[in-house]
Every structure is written in structure tokens, then in C-alpha cells.
């Protein structure tokens, strides 16, 4: 059973509908003890990094997520939820994140090195490129996915980056280490490729249950 973390800032409806299409059993909860029992967790997110971390801290879900990861069960962060997996963000003032992966979250400069302005937020379809193999990419080919974000992850550890896209700068699009995964785009809004990625996450959940 997949647990979707409800902390007041997630795109719960679209994520849950995607899991229903995949016939993957799930539940939505804000209760830490209940979520700890899930076979895998999804941390969705829409909005400000600072506001999201305040809600997670106030509700006790920050400690729960860190405890959960230690069990070895899979965790997937989506969009803002992916950014929260990293150490800190400069959005609305420097804010500490969950620090499950190395790196920080910074704003797109909006200007190329040559001085040409480009649109921020990064919004719409963009092609992702795979860097390394991962169970989250099993039987998947490179294609376009749907992004909506003004900040992106900057990590010193390139082994964390599974796939990326180009938006003047290199943008980590899929990240992961061990049992922690993240997708900067919205897989539930990314047509066939997005659904295949979510299906692979549900397969990781099944493997965990089988073990």
C-alpha cells in the first residue's frame, strides 16, 4: 500500500488519480504513525519550499519521513516534494530541507551567460536525458515530460542525478540514491512516460512487499 503524505501543500487529487489508473492501492494521510506503516511513500508538493517545510516541521512529519527512509522502504518526492529532499533552498529566504540528498535549491537566473533573458518559471514540456541506470527507469525511453517550477536543484554529487533536462542550465529531472527518489516534473501530468515512471515506483513497492 502506497501512502501519500498530506501536509496541506500537495497535488493529492492528480497523484491519487494516477495511482488509480495504475490500479495501485494507496491511502492519503497526515498521521505519522499511519504513514510509517506504508509499503512506500509519495511526498507531493506545490508552492513555496519555506511554507512546505514549516508545515512538515509543525506536523511532526519531518521526523517521520527521516525515520521512514531508514527502514529502506521507497520514498518518492514529486515537484516541490523532490526539492524538499535536499539540504536547503534559497526560496523566500534560506530554509533547511529534509537533507536526504546532497545539494541546494536555487532560482533560475532568467538570463543566459550571453545576457539574453528567458522565461521563468520553466513551464511546459521538455525532453529529459538519462544519465545512469535506475529501477525507476526500467524499460523506459527518453521522452518529454511536463514541468512547472522557478527553482531547480544544484547538487555537487552527480551520482544523485538519474536524468536531467536543459533549460539554459542543466536541471536535475529525476534524482535518487538508495531508496529515495525524486521527480522535478509532474509524472501524473506527463502522459505515457510519466505513467511509466509511476508504474516503476509501484513495482518497487511490490518488490518491497514481497521481500
**Can you list the alpha helix ranges (DSSP code H) found in 60-164?**
61-70, 80-83
What sign does the CA torsion over 158, 95, 64, 205 have?
Answer: negative
79 is catalytic: yes
- Known catalytic residue: 129? no
CB 188 within 8 A of CB 15: yes
203 is catalytic: no
What distance in Å separates the CA atoms of residue 86 and residue 65, rounded to the nearest whole number? 13
Catalytic site residue from 79, 91, 149, 165: 79
Alpha carbon of 39 to those of 31, 51, 129: distances in Å?
15, 27, 29
- Mention every residue, 6+ apart, whose C-beta is less than 8 A from residue 206: none
CB-side exposure of 107: number of CA atoms within 13 Å? 13
CA 129 – CA 116 distance, rounded (Å): 25
From the candidates 91, 149, 165, 186, which is the catalytic residue? 186
Radius of gyration, alpha carbons of the chain:
16
| C-alpha cell recorded at residue 73 | 522502504
Among candidate residues 149, 165, 188, 196, the one labeled active-site is 188
Q: Which residues contact 116 (CB under 8 A, 6 or more apart)?
A: none
Catalytic residues: 79, 186, 188
Amino acid at each position: 500500500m502506497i501512502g501519500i503524505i498530506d501536509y496541506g501543500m500537495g497535488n493529492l487529487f492528480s497523484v491519487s488519480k494516477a495511482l488509480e489508473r495504475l490500479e495501485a492501492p494507496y491511502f492519503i494521510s497526515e498521521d505519522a504513525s499511519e504513514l510509517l506503516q506504508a509499503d512506500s511513500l509519495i511526498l507531493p508538493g506545490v508552492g513555496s519550499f519555506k511554507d512546505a517545510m514549516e508545515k512538515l516541521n509543525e506536523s511532526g512529519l519531518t521526523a517521520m519521513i527521516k525515520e521512514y527512509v531508514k527502514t529502506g522502504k521507497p520514498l518518492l518526492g514529486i515537484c516541490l516534494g523532490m526539492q524538499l529532499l535536499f539540504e536547503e533552498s534559497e526560496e523566500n529566504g534560506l530554509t533547511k530541507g529534509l537533507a536526504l540528498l546532497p545539494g541546494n535549491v536555487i532560482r533560475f537566473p532568467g538570463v543566459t551567460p550571453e545576457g539574453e533573458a528567458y522565461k521563468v518559471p520553466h513551464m511546459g514540456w521538455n525532453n529529459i536525458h538519462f544519465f545512469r541506470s535506475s529501477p525507476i527507469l526500467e524499460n523506459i525511453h527518453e521522452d518529454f515530460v511536463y514541468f512547472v517550477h522557478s527553482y531547480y536543484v544544484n547538487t555537487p554529487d552527480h551520482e544523485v542525478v538519474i536524468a536531467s533536462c536543459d533549460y539554459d542550465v542543466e536541471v536535475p529531472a529525476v534524482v535518487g540514491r538508495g531508496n529515495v527518489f525524486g521527480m522535478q516534473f509532474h509524472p501524473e501530468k506527463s502522459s505515457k512516460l510519466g505513467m511509466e515512471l509511476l508504474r516503476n515506483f509501484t513495482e518497487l513497492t511490490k518488490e518491497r512487499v514481497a521481500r
